[in-house]
Amino acid sequence: MWNKLTNHVFYTNNDPETDRPCIGYVQGEKAGLLMDAGNSLAHAELLKKGLAEKGLPEPNYIALTHAHWDHTYGLCGWKGVSFAGKKTNAILGKMQAWQWDDASMKKRIENGEDSEFCFIHIRKEYPDRSLISVKPADISLQGELEIDLGGVMVVLKEVTSPHAADCVVFSVPEDGLLFLGDSYCSVPVGDDWVYDKDLLGKYIDWLEGEDFVVAIKGHHPPQTKAELLAELKADYAAL
Ligand SMILES: [Zn+2]
């Protein structure tokens, strides 16, 4: 399940069935860092099994790209020290009090706190919703944070994104790699996925200034910088 993409970075494909996103793993000489935590304990266990099969140790660090359930609810399954943006951790703190019966979930869709898209996939991922366990990360960051894994650095950066207000991306400069989470995505509105034009424009401008060769996307296959920018500019032009 873990594909090697660059010298230090592995990733898994996304699984649309229960909306499991692509997960990344950076292997340094001293430590390993997991990029996003998975959407459940079951997902985390599957990721661990895959790491063991590849001979990779469990990560010392886990970093979260944003608070959405599919990227964070697996955090309870990992032992390492976890990092998230301050905004992400504030949202996760609120989500800890959420109830998971149908009525509570539907109420959150009505008041805009959650989406029908999440509701459908959470029900599929968790046949028993009493197993949902939400946990904020151990350490909150603002701006940028560099983590030295031994021979390779990972830079965690807060960014302005059309997808959510709490997005953080992970850059691995030695490998020319950028892990985007969902920061490149639009948002679900009813049955459509919609971009905010102003935010997408800002995001494209920021991406153009970033030095990277290949990007790992939360719910799509990796792309080169040129492919990613061409796709986003076409989306922008169509708005
Ligand atoms: Zn998301």
Rounded to the nearest whole angstrom, what is the distance from the C-alpha of residue 30 to the centroid of ligand 1? 30
How many C-beta atoms lie closer than 10 Å to residue 97's C-beta?
7
- CATH code that applies to domain 3-237: 3.60.15.10
- Rounded distance from Cα 87 to ligand 1 centre (Å): 14
**Cα–ligand 1 centroid distance for 173 (angstroms):** 24
Question: pLDDT tens digit string along 48-72?
Answer: 999 999 999 999 999 999 999 999 9
Distances (CA, A) of 30 to 18, 22, 148: 34, 24, 9
pLDDT recorded at residue 189: 82
Residue 66 alpha carbon to ligand 1 centre in Å:
7
Cα–ligand 1 centroid distance for 168 (angstroms): 11
pLDDT of amino acid 112: 87
CA of residue 107 to ligand 1 center, whole Å:
20
Give me the pLDDT at residue 190, please.
76
Q: How far is the CA of 151 from the centre of ligand 1 (A)?
A: 31
Residue 68 Cα to ligand 1 middle (Å) = 5
**Residues 186, 192, 198, 200: what is their CA dihedral angle, to the nearest 10 degrees?**
30
The dihedral region occupied by 86, where left means phi > 0, alpha psi between -120 and 50, and beta the remainder, is: alpha
pTM of the full structure: 0.96
Q: How far is the CA of 148 from the centre of ligand 1 (A)?
A: 27
- State in Å: Cα 85 to ligand 1 middle: 14
Ranges of residues in the chain whose predicted pLDDT is under 70: none
Residues with Cβ within 8 Å of residue 80, at least 6 apart in sequence: 34, 58, 59, 60, 61, 62
| Residue 59 Cα to ligand 1 middle (Å) | 22
Q: What's the CA-to-centroid distance between 65 and ligand 1, angstroms?
A: 9
- Please check whether residue 195 is in contact with residue 230, taking contact to mean a CB–CB distance below 8 angstroms: no
- Between the CA of 185 and the centroid of ligand 1 the distance, in Å, is 8
- Encode pLDDT of 185-212 as tens digits: 999 887 789 999 999 999 999 999 999 9
Enumerate the domain spans of the chain: 3-237
The protein residues having their C-beta less than 5 angstroms from ligand 1 (an ion) are: 68, 182
**Which candidate, 164, 170, 201, 199, places its Cα nearest to that of 183?**
164
pLDDT at position 9: 98
